[in-house]
């Protein structure tokens, strides 16, 4: 199982206080689909992701790049 970790500071509005978060997405190495996630400080729904189970990991990485969050992968 592989892991994608996204870290960042979420701000709902430009002048609002930021909230730091970490989200771990667990995905399969063959199909690159998310099978589970663990969130600390924020839910994926607030990031703009609806249903996260079953979506390709590339969609989540594109979202992290657009929003300016840092991410890294652990592949096994």
C-alpha span between 76 and 65 (Å, rounded):
23
Tens digit of each residue's pLDDT (9 = 90 or more) over 52-69? 889 999 999 998 898 888
pLDDT-derived band at 35, boundaries 50, 70, 90: very high
Question: What residues contact residue 20 under an 8 Å CB cut-off, 6+ apart?
Answer: 7, 8, 9, 10, 41
Full residue range of the structural domain in which residue 6 is found: 2-74
pLDDT (0 to 100) of residue 14: 81
Indicate the number of domains in the chain: 1
pLDDT-derived band at 16, boundaries 50, 70, 90: confident
Please give the model's pTM, rounded to 2 decimal places.
0.85
Residue 26 has pLDDT above 90, yes or no: yes
pLDDT (0 to 100) of residue 33: 94
Instruction: Check if the beta carbon of residue 21 is closer than 8 Å to that of residue 10.
Output: yes
């Amino acid at each position: 199982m592989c892991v994608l970790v996204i870290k960042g500071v979420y701000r709902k509005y430009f002048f609002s206080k930021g909230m730091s978060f970490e989200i771990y997405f667990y995905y399969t190495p063959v199909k690159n689909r998310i099978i589970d996630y663990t969130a600390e400080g924020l839910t994926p729904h607030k990031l703009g992701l609806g249903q996260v189970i079953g979506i390709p990991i590339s969609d989540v990485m594109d979202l992290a790049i657009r929003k300016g969050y840092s991410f890294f992968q652990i592949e096994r």
